[in-house]
Amino acid sequence: MPLQPFTLERYFAKHEFSARYLLSSSDCEPLPMTDLLAMASDGTAALWHDLTLAYTESAGHPLLREMIASIYRGLNAEDILTAAPEEIIYLFMNTFLEPGDHVVSTFPGYQSLYELARARSCRLSFWKPREEEGWAFTAADLEALLEQDTKLVVMNFPHNPTGYVPPAKEYEKMVRMATDRGALVFSDEMYRFLEIVPGTTLPAACELSDRAVSLFGLSKSFGLPGLRTGWLACRDGDILRNMQELKDYTTICGSAPSEILAMIALENRVRIITGHIERVRKNLALLQDFGKRLLVTSPQDLSQVTGQPAVFELIPPVGGSVCFPRLPGVGSTFDFCERLVNEASIMLLPSKLFEWDDTHVRIGLGRENFPEVLERFVRYL
Ligand SMILES: Cc1ncc(COP(=O)(O)O)c(C=O)c1O
């Protein structure tokens, strides 16, 4: 089966560099390179200064892999393979899955997490959240989807686009349930450490079971998507070996400057991520305030604001840098977003791009100019 276009990435390709205001970005405010370099230790500053632009080691710079492994309890450098985050998904799905395999995936979500399985003619079951219960993904719902021969369970917490993070006990139950049934867990943890509600950081899946693998990288929580640096943390050597063999046909190895810059970011992990979380929390408070302004007004007031009865329903995200409010008063959110980008040059993602309904939008909370863009959005409404 041929690969379907990646709907969300195509939409970004169309508008991201022409719209003046972005209200849907999932990455946190990208760091200027000079700021990142200023954080280098003597060791990484020397690596940067002496860098030669040669090919790099296919699995990743040994020191970078060591630094990555130190984030995880019980993992070593040889349990890490680096590549761009999206590339990791591609390498994993194309080496682990065979036609006919049964795959369960959180849904809605980042399309490649299930599209590659679909393209490999796998049998797909979508594990959907309960909006009325705060976008909860539950272990009970997962159990109902597991089959005798389920090969893979794909999870993504903090979840894009809802921001849901299950309680730790529930999450551990989900991982145990899947692995006890013989499935492998692919856990997309791209928004890890960006928990908005304090104390909700989950263990990495790869720490809970050697039948679980964890995807992470620098694009979202670190605000460094331009480095194109991610990794798979995995205690199964065969999985990593197979992925590395396919990587010879994609990028062969990582970018030499990115590897050193990634080390500098990892050295300063807490400092960098703390800045991003504070911004996300501030922006979320502004958005909630905006929501209240729309919710508490009378129908007449509302009609003055929007021309029709409109409300803004937000289930606050527990973690990550995005949320998925409902805008029931604007009609089709797909059409609304088209008008918004054409008339006000504000890019907002409609839920249709997630193959979800046509009443939600994804809002990104990680950018520095969020207050200004939100104000423009309110004015447009
Ligand atoms: C859940 C999730 N996984 C993976 C990715 C891919 O990350 P990158 O764009 O850095 O390759 C994204 C990007 O939006 C994402 O949201």
Contact 303, 330 (CB under 8 A): no
Nearest to 345 by CA among 4, 6, 17: 17
Put simply, whether the predicted model's pTM sits higher than 0.85 gets the answer yes
Half-sphere exposure of 66 (CA within 13 A, CB side): 4
For the residues of 32-83, what is the DSSP string, one character each? PHHHHHHT--HHHHHHHHT-------TT--HHHHHHHHTTSTT--GGGEEEE
Instruction: Choose the residue to mutate in 22, 216, 220 for probing ligand 1, maximizing ligand atoms within 8 Å of C-beta.
Output: 220
Using the predicted structure, report yes or no on whether residue 206 has a pLDDT greater than 70: yes
From ligand 1's centre to the CA of 329, what distance in Å? 30
Which sign, positive or negative, has the C-alpha torsion 336, 15, 358, 288? negative
Over residues 297-319, mean pLDDT? 65
From ligand 1's centre to the CA of 50, what distance in Å? 31
Residue nearest to atom 15 of ligand 1 (CA): 110
Using the predicted structure, report yes or no on whether residue 298 has a pLDDT greater than 70: no
From ligand 1's centre to the CA of 134, what distance in Å? 23
pLDDT at res. 295: 52
Using the predicted structure, report yes or no on whether residue 137 has a pLDDT greater than 90: yes
Q: How far apart are CA 131 and CA 161, in angstroms?
A: 12
Which tokens is 243 given?
A: 């992925």
Chain mean position to CA 314? 19
Using the predicted structure, report yes or no on whether residue 326 has a pLDDT greater than 90: yes
Q: How far apart are CA 171 and CA 176, in angstroms?
A: 9
From ligand 1's centre to the CA of 85, what distance in Å? 6
- Confidence at 140, pLDDT banded by 50, 70, 90: very high
Q: How far apart are CA 235 and CA 190, in angstroms?
A: 19
Question: 189 in ligand 1 pocket by Cβ < 6 Å?
Answer: no
Instruction: Choose the residue to mutate in 115, 160, 227 for probing ligand 1, maximizing ligand atoms within 8 Å of C-beta.
Output: 160
Over residues 168-196, mean pLDDT? 98
Considering the chain, what is the average pLDDT of its residues? Answer: 94
Domains of the chain plus CATH, in order, are 7-31+271-380 (3.90.1150.10), 33-268 (3.40.640.10)
From ligand 1's centre to the CA of 190, what distance in Å? 7
